[in-house]
Structure 1
Amino acid sequence: MGGSVDRSRTRFENRTGRAISPHRQSREHAVLKLLVVEDDPLIGPAVKAVLENAGYTVVGPLRDAVKAARVGARECPDLALVDVNLAGGENGLVLARRLWEENGVPSLLMTGFDHHAAEAREFAMGLLRKPVMPDALVQAVGAAGEILGGMRPSSTPAALEIFHGSVATTASLSATNLPKARTA
């Protein structure tokens, strides 16, 4: 396969129109610049390591929602992975809404609690249930990348719930006749 992206057939842009940089991997999906917001001092670095080992560019982990909002505005990530229950200050739901509304950055929320799904459906791309295994984390981010690329995800891990009706998802994935992503 060639090394370029045919922009006439796939949309590799976030909501603000900034191009998502394609990056070659064995699975040939668009690799995203990710913002990781996780206040647990063990989980945050582990998430970063797993995603970097999978070939993603990772900003963070950041432990504070206010700092994460500033970094998100400056770094223009394509996707944020946000822990819902951040210690002190804003929680992850407030941060994810802010990243979307102010910067067009979609979020996958990470939580061990299902009750956050109802509130997050209107602005987040999906919910990743903790604890999440490394393979499922990489698969979830890959599915989000496919959606951001204008395709339906080829597969999603059981830990991931995509919010198909959210503004973040529908801005990238229309309900009409998009090609399904190629599988490896």
Structure 2
Amino acid sequence: MEKPKFRVLIVEDEFIVGLHLESILERLGHEVVGVVADEAEALHLVASERPDLIVTDIHLAGGGDGLKVARAGQESYGARSIVITGHRDGGTFLRAEEAGAQAFLRKPFGLTEVETVFSRL
């Protein structure tokens, strides 16, 4: 059985990381509805594009919070979320789980890691 394809919003303030993820997701057959770096723009796209899935870093440009974006997407539109993080501490994972994250994607990542995380959704 083929896995579902998602409409994905990427929220990542490292430009190269966002583009890398976009390329991988498109290669896997998902539709990327936007790649943004800050909380305000992400919240705007959540409302206008209503993605199925939000893949977000925790710390965003301008002091924004990716977990706030994930929570808003889930509460308003039922969007799932995957948290991107370079942190390995338990507090980071606990905050993300409390925000409703379904999975984690640890930096650095490549095709195999993304495919593995998405296969569990």
Distance 2:34 2:63 in 1: 18
Corresponding position of 1:121: 97
Is 2:38 the partner of 1:64? yes
TM-score (norm 1): 0.60
Distance 1:103 1:67 in 2: 17
**Greater mean alpha carbon deviation, residues 65-74 or residues 95-104:** 95-104
Shift of 1:82: 0.3
Superposed CA offset, 1:36-95 (max 9, x none): 111111111111011101111111211111111111111111111001121214211222
Asked whether the equivalents of residues 13 and 60 of structure 2 are also in contact (C-alpha less than 8 Å), the reply is yes
Distance 2:53 2:37 in 1: 17
Distance 2:73 2:48 in 1: 11
Aligned partner letter, 2:67: L
The percent identity for this pair of structures is 34
**Greater mean alpha carbon deviation, residues 40-49 or residues 93-102:** 93-102
Corresponding position of 1:134: 111
Superposed CA offset, 1:100-148 (max 9, x none): 122221210000113311112122212221111222112212322xxxx
Corresponding position of 1:38: 12
Is 2:53 the partner of 1:79? yes
Distance 1:138 1:51 in 2: 9
Aligned partner letter, 1:111: T
SS of 2:69 mapped into structure 1: helix
* Higher share of residues assigned helix: 2
Distance 2:93 2:38 in 1: 21
Rg larger in structure? 1
Distance 2:8 2:85 in 1: 17
- What does residue range 99-114 of structure 1 map to in structure 2 within 5 Å? 99-114=73-88
Work out which structure has the larger RCO, using CA pairs closer than 8 Å and 6 or more positions apart in sequence. Answer: 2
Corresponding position of 1:50: 24
Distance 2:78 2:23 in 1: 25
Q: Which runs of 4+ in 1 moved over 4 A?
A: none
Asked whether the equivalents of residues 103 and 117 of structure 2 are also in contact (C-alpha less than 8 Å), the reply is no
SS of 1:121 mapped into structure 2: helix
Q: State the number of aligned residues.
A: 118
